[in-house]
Amino acid sequence: MTQRASFTPVVAGSASSESPATPKAPARRGGPPNPSADALRQRFGAAVRRVDVVWGETTVIVDGARLGEIAAWLHDDPAQRYDLLADVTAVEFRDSELPLEVVWHIRSLPFRRFLRLKVLLEKGRPLEVPSVWATWKSADWLERECYDMFGIRFAGHPDLRRILMWEQYKEGYPLRKDFPLRGRFSRSEQLRQALAANPEARYSMDELSIAQAFEDLPDDMRQRLSTGEKTGE
Amino acid sequence: MATTKRTVDVQLSTSGVDAQGRPQRTPLVTDQSGNLLTMEAPPAIEPDLQADHMLINIGPQHPATHGVLRLVLELDGETVVRCIPHVGYLHCGFEKIGEYRQYNQIIPWTDREDYLNSPGNNVAFALGAERLFGIAITERCTVLRVMTCELSRIMSHLVWLGTTCIDIGAFTPFLWAFYQREAIYKLLEDWVGARLTVTTTRVGGMAADVPDGWVDQLRHFTKTFPKTLAEIDKVVTRNGIWVGRTIGLGVMSADEAVNYGLTGPMLRASGVAYDVRKDFPYLDYETYDFDVPVGTNGDVYDRYLVRMEEMRQSIRILEQAIARFPDGPVNTDDHRVVLPPKSKATSDMESMIHHFKQVMEGPRPPIGECYVAVESPKGEKGYYMVSDGTSKPVRWRIRPPSFVNLSAIPKMVEGHLLSDVIAINASIDIVMGEIDR
């Protein structure tokens, strides 16, 4: 195989002068924060609500309304370059007074930095945060999963639908604390619903548009679908 | 950072036409010096017949989808125009269950998500819980965990290698790979008594110290395994069919790969030398001498080369770990977290209290949160744990590397042939237990 003449691997840590080491006994609270936290404060001022350092990891709590802007800046700024979105998830505490937290874990490969972004969502308000899909494509499935499990809507996500649960799942959002461990319905009710499901409804309308598959469906199903009934697995 | 670039000089000759007399689609083309040319993008070979697009459903029960993955494909002739993946058939709410379990009780669940890498998951979870508890582990435990991680990396890559060979049409390497995997299972069985769901770690230590003679068996494995690897290398790496069916498929450029969140061999095949062991080290990985292999083209073939080289590097790490394996206890003596010896529980008042508190209530970490990531065979495997001061986590999040890697499959397969979807899907190295959790 010919090597590309100009090929040089993109080496993580290329912009960092420190050699990384296994963290030894980080403090529970405090310690030097990630330099990006100060940079964020300078750039965005009041949109940065709080900076915590817990077990050596920096958490920046930001204003949800400006998240998209903050994410794009962290990704693009030459002194930050957070190019890898590792994870999107949410935390709900057992204390129902506490707000829900949406958590983004991002890494800057050139600078070898790790940052946790958080947005707090008060209970009783619509659970909605901006999507960061425009900045990191890896947000696609991660945000869908977070929506599926917590019911948090990511505004601006191109295709926000359930991913692990099936599309017609009606019982709610499984990782919320008010969702019982065994599910909302009894075993017999779950079985009844599973048996009552139409086994032909395996494709979404989007998929049925391929190859005019919609026209080949039985009449009753076409009628039900055209009245807005959802299909899907 | 030391990186190894693997290049392969292939001497291949072909008539340039396939059985029907059409030009070969596969890039079995060499330049003047005899080097195989890389195909940048697959040429469109199917003429646009203005026919209807076809809907093809692969899975969920299909042997080539490596689990219960379902792909809905829109085909134009034989070319994939659109791919819509469906996951979730194996969803069993591990994260929800974790909120109702004590920390040590969660470790068996980590076996069952990425079940090809269960020892590695145990180590990752224990590292996370230890950071949350704020305890340090012993030197012997650290080295033993490195051995565990590398063994499980080899184990997982061998399954990947064997099954991918079968997908692409080579049966023999599958048998060789699984024979070696059996040797690792034998080691694990001698150590903890289980083979697949091993639960090797506990918070603050290991389930057990290794038995006498175990390290000798491991040393024997590090000597015999490279021979098998060399045989597989000889049979597969320059094999014309293998090369033809893997080069130029599912190409991800370095920028795309990072932006799509790919990690592990998928990312390194695209030429990004990012390895959690090197860049965010844990378990003193910075003190081991090993290389991070990177590919140049980011196609299926490069992913194969990267995984093969990673197994060789794992053997290097294992050899160094054996050489430095220290004596001493494997568990910490912090008896708020680790059970004191049973003999002391009946003779020493304090030990009895620790026993009682740990068994009845479970150890309680302070309020806090941590995200600990390790380099699993599939990529960056992270555990995010949030504690509210009780003995059960408020939130236990698994960052699944193959879930994120799989999310790029529409990007990778579109424009390729239906038969190449199988090779591309195999190259992601998915484990549905981890994706659906």
Q: What is the mean pLDDT of chain A?
A: 83
Judged by a CB distance cut-off of 8 A, whether residue A1 touches chain B is: yes
Predicted confidence at residue B106, as pLDDT, reads 93
Predicted confidence at residue A233, as pLDDT, reads 39
Q: Is the pLDDT of residue B145 over 90?
A: yes
What CA–CA distances, in Å, run from B262 to A142, A213, B131?
13, 34, 26
Predicted confidence at residue B80, as pLDDT, reads 86
Predicted confidence at residue B253, as pLDDT, reads 87
Predicted confidence at residue B1, as pLDDT, reads 43
By C-alpha distance, the chain A residue nearest B298 is: A9
Closest of B113, B114, B219 to residue B160, by C-alpha: B114
Q: How far apart (Å, rounded) are the C-alpha atoms in residues B160 and B431?
A: 10
pLDDT in tens, A38-51: 899 998 888 898 89
pLDDT in tens, A166-198: 877 778 899 999 888 888 888 888 888 777 776
Judged by a CB distance cut-off of 8 A, whether residue B231 touches chain A is: no
Closest of B274, B316, B321 to residue B295, by C-alpha: B274
By C-alpha distance, the chain B residue nearest A137 is: B260
Predicted confidence at residue A9, as pLDDT, reads 73
Q: How far apart (Å, rounded) are the C-alpha atoms in residues B29 and B13?
A: 8
Instruction: Tell me whether strands A153-155 and A128-130 are parallel, antiparallel or unpaired.
Output: parallel
Comparing A71-80, A94-103, A166-175, B152-161, which segment has the lowest mean pLDDT?
Answer: A166-175
Predicted confidence at residue B22, as pLDDT, reads 53
Binding-face residues of B in 53-92 toward A, CB within 8 A: 53-55, 57, 70, 72, 74, 82, 84, 86-88, 91
Å between B421 CA and nearest CA of chain A: 18
**Angle between helices B300-324 and B139-168 in degrees, nearest 10:** 150
Nearest CB to A11 within list B100, B273, B380? B273
H/E stretch holding A53 reads strand A48-54
pLDDT, average across residues B231-251? 85
CB-based contact B271 A136, cutoff 8 Å? no
Nearest CB to A91 within list B96, B271, B386? B386
Q: How far apart (Å, rounded) are the C-alpha atoms in residues B287 and A20?
A: 11
- Residue B27: pLDDT band (50, 70, 90) is very low
| Burial annotation B276-292 (CB, 10 A radius, 16+ → b, else e) | bbbbbbbbbbeebebbb
CB-based contact B131 A55, cutoff 8 Å? yes
Residue reference for tokens 């990186």: B3
Comparing A1-10, A119-128, B241-250, B372-381, which segment has the lowest mean pLDDT?
Answer: A1-10
* CB-CB contact of A15 with A81 (8 Å): yes
Judged by a CB distance cut-off of 8 A, whether residue A124 touches chain B is: no
CATH class of A35-165: alpha beta
Q: What percent of chain A has pLDDT over 90?
A: 30
3-state class (DSSP) for residue B176: helix
**A-chain residues near B35 (CB < 8 A):** 1-2
By C-alpha distance, the chain A residue nearest B132 is: A55
Q: Is the pLDDT of residue A2 over 50?
A: no
Q: Is the pLDDT of residue B198 over 70?
A: yes
pLDDT, average across residues B12-24? 50
3-state class (DSSP) for residue B169: coil
Nearest CB to A94 within list B82, B369, B394? B394
Q: What is the mean pLDDT of chain B?
A: 85
By C-alpha distance, the chain B residue nearest A165 is: B88
pLDDT, average across residues B369-373? 92
CB-based contact A109 B258, cutoff 8 Å? yes
At B375, give phi and psi (nearest 5°): -90, 95
**A-chain residues near B261 (CB < 8 A):** 84-86, 136-138, 142
Predicted confidence at residue B32, as pLDDT, reads 60
Predicted confidence at residue B35, as pLDDT, reads 57
CATH code for the domain defined by B94-134+137-331+365-436:
1.10.645.10
3-state class (DSSP) for residue B99: coil
Q: Is the pLDDT of residue B334 over 60?
A: yes
Predicted confidence at residue B348, as pLDDT, reads 87
Q: How far apart (Å, rounded) are the C-alpha atoms in residues B127 and A62?
A: 28
Q: What percent of chain B has pLDDT over 70?
A: 88
Contacts of B48 (CB under 8 A, 6+ apart): B76
Judged by a CB distance cut-off of 8 A, whether residue A217 touches chain B is: no
A168-175: long-range contacts at Cβ-Cβ below 8 A with a sequence spacing of 24 or more? A168/A197, A168/A230, A168/A232, A173/A148, A173/A149, A174/A149, A174/B93, A174/B96, A175/A90, A175/A92, A175/A149, A175/A150, A175/B95, A175/B96
Comparing A96-100, A129-133, A205-209, which segment has the lowest mean pLDDT?
Answer: A205-209
Å between A65 CA and nearest CA of chain B: 23
Q: What percent of chain B has pLDDT over 90?
A: 45
pLDDT, average across residues B59-69? 82
Residues present in chain B in total: 437
CB-based contact B53 A89, cutoff 8 Å? no
Judged by a CB distance cut-off of 8 A, whether residue A155 touches chain B is: no
Judged by a CB distance cut-off of 8 A, whether residue B131 touches chain A is: yes
pLDDT, average across residues B71-79? 84
What CA–CA distances, in Å, run from A33 to A26, A37, A58, A83, B112?
12, 7, 6, 19, 36
Predicted confidence at residue B48, as pLDDT, reads 56
Closest of B168, B158, B138 to residue B243, by C-alpha: B168
Q: How far apart (Å, rounded) are the C-alpha atoms in residues B421 and B412?
A: 9
pLDDT, average across residues B21-31? 51
**A-chain residues near B386 (CB < 8 A):** 91
CB-based contact A138 B3, cutoff 8 Å? no
Q: What percent of chain A has pLDDT over 70?
A: 85
Name residue B180's amino acid. Answer: Q
Q: What's the gap between Cα A95 and its chain centre?
A: 23
Q: How far apart (Å, rounded) are the C-alpha atoms in residues B142 and B373?
A: 16
Q: How far apart (Å, rounded) are the C-alpha atoms in residues B207 and B202?
A: 6
Cis status of the peptide bond prior to A174, with omega within 30 of 0: no
CB-based contact B399 A26, cutoff 8 Å? no
Q: What's the gap between Cα B9 and its chain centre?
A: 28
Closest of B370, B320, B385 to residue B146, by C-alpha: B320
Nearest CB to B296 within list A7, A163, A175? A7
pLDDT in tens, B377-408: 999 999 999 999 899 999 999 999 999 999 99
Q: Is the pLDDT of residue B31 over 80?
A: no
Q: What's the gap between Cα B316 and its chain centre?
A: 18
By C-alpha distance, the chain B residue nearest A176 is: B96
A136-139: long-range contacts at Cβ-Cβ below 8 A with a sequence spacing of 24 or more? A136/A71, A136/A75, A136/A84, A136/A85, A136/A106, A136/B259, A136/B261, A137/B256, A137/B259, A137/B260, A137/B261, A137/B408, A138/A84, A138/A85, A138/B259, A138/B260, A138/B261, A138/B262, A138/B404, A138/B407, A139/A85, A139/A88
By C-alpha distance, the chain B residue nearest A140 is: B407
Å between A63 CA and nearest CA of chain B: 20
Nearest CB to B52 within list A12, A174, A212? A212
By C-alpha distance, the chain B residue nearest A87 is: B399
CB-based contact B31 A2, cutoff 8 Å? yes
**B-chain residues near A25 (CB < 8 A):** 134, 136
Predicted confidence at residue A231, as pLDDT, reads 54
* CB-CB contact of A143 with A154 (8 Å): yes
Judged by a CB distance cut-off of 8 A, whether residue A140 touches chain B is: yes
Residue A83, exposed/middle/buried by CB under 10 A (0-12, 13-18, 19+)? buried
Predicted confidence at residue B122, as pLDDT, reads 93
By C-alpha distance, the chain B residue nearest A89 is: B397
Predicted confidence at residue B307, as pLDDT, reads 92
Q: Which residues of chain B form CATH 1.10.645.10?
A: 94-134+137-331+365-436
Binding-face residues of B in 261-280 toward A, CB within 8 A: 261-263, 271-275, 278-280
In total, the C-beta contacts within 8 angstroms joining chain A to chain B are: 196
Q: Facing residues of B36 across strands?
A: B30
Judged by a CB distance cut-off of 8 A, whether residue A165 touches chain B is: yes
pLDDT in tens, A202-232: 666 667 666 666 677 777 777 777 766 655 4
